[in-house]
């Protein structure tokens, strides 16, 4: 088989695999909404696994995977019996430190790859776990401006939540509004709407009710409608 034919075959395989994965995500948005960001991240990793690019991208993806394994390790109490070969940590800070070393290595050695962009996203999350808010904001802002819209969407959501958790609701509200206007495969509109409504629930109940009603109308006959109805019942 000629080189050009092999290249075209790889392109077709990548396009098909990516489309199938994103279609699954679209069909299961409600499920993703309840299972959280970890599932979305795994979807991105699956998409990245089909990248046909040069050996450099494959190595970057493998290194990112090592960091993800550490970051998803279980946290157990000191002295807990752990099966051989299983990595655990006693607290989130230690886990974040270990994982961030691998993420930093990925970002430094494989710059300008999607795996490096994803590594920077996780460096932002690790910085939060380690209590370094300055670094967390720095990393998340950097990824929010990246060319990969799906990874940038994840970073914007994390950044908005970071702003909310650090008492900067006006900035959080602005970011969620941007995500509602321009949703991505990893940040569906309803997810950002719910997050924004939850902020309004404590700061502006009238706005929260309006947004909850809009969400319920757009997602009638789904678990999301039941969720927002229960939240509206708790509004002051």
> Contact, 63 vs 109, CB < 8 A?
yes
Asked if residue 98 and residue 19 are part of one domain, the reply reads yes
Range of the domain at 115: 1-146
**pLDDT recorded at residue 57:** 80
| CA 189, chain centre distance (Å) | 14
Ranges in the chain, pLDDT < 50 = 5-40, 50-52
**pLDDT recorded at residue 155:** 94
> Contact, 132 vs 19, CB < 8 A?
no
Asked if residue 142 and residue 191 are part of one domain, the reply reads no
Asked if residue 106 and residue 17 are part of one domain, the reply reads yes
Asked if residue 219 and residue 121 are part of one domain, the reply reads no
**pLDDT recorded at residue 45:** 52
**pLDDT recorded at residue 14:** 39
**pLDDT recorded at residue 236:** 75
Asked if residue 119 and residue 211 are part of one domain, the reply reads no
Residue whose C-alpha is closest to residue 119's, from 164, 67, 192? 67
Q: Number of folded domains in the chain?
A: 2
CA distance 59 to 144: 24
**pLDDT recorded at residue 58:** 82
**pLDDT recorded at residue 41:** 54
Asked if residue 201 and residue 110 are part of one domain, the reply reads no
**pLDDT recorded at residue 20:** 40
- 205: CB partners within 8 A, 6+ apart: 235, 236
> Contact, 216 vs 228, CB < 8 A?
yes
């Amino acid at each position: 088989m000629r080189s050009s034919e092999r290249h075209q075959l790889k392109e077709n395989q990548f396009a098909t695999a990516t489309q199938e994965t994103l279609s699954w995500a679209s069909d299961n948005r409600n499920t993703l909404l309840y299972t959280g960001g970890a599932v979305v991240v795994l979807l991105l990793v699956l998409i990245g696994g089909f990248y046909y690019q040069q050996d450099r991208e494959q190595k970057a993806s493998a290194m990112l995977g090592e960091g993800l394994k550490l970051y998803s390790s279980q946290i157990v109490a000191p002295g807990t019996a752990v099966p051989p070969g299983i990595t655990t940590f006693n607290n989130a800070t230690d886990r974040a430190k270990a994982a961030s070393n691998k993420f930093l290595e990925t970002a430094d050695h494989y710059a300008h790859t999607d795996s490096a962009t994803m590594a920077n996203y996780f460096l932002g999350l690790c910085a939060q776990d380690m209590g370094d808010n300055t670094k967390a904001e720095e990393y998340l802002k950097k990824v929010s401006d990246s060319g990969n819209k799906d990874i940038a969407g994840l970073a914007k959501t994390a950044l908005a939540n970071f702003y909310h958790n650090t008492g900067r609701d006006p900035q959080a509200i602005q970011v969620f509004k941007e995500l509602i206007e321009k949703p991505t495969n990893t940040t569906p509109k309803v997810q950002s709407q719910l997050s924004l409504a939850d902020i309004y629930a404590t700061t502006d109940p009238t706005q929260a009710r309006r947004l909850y009603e809009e969400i319920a109308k757009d997602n009638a006959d789904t678990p999301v409608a039941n969720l927002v109805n229960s939240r509206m019942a708790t509004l002051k």
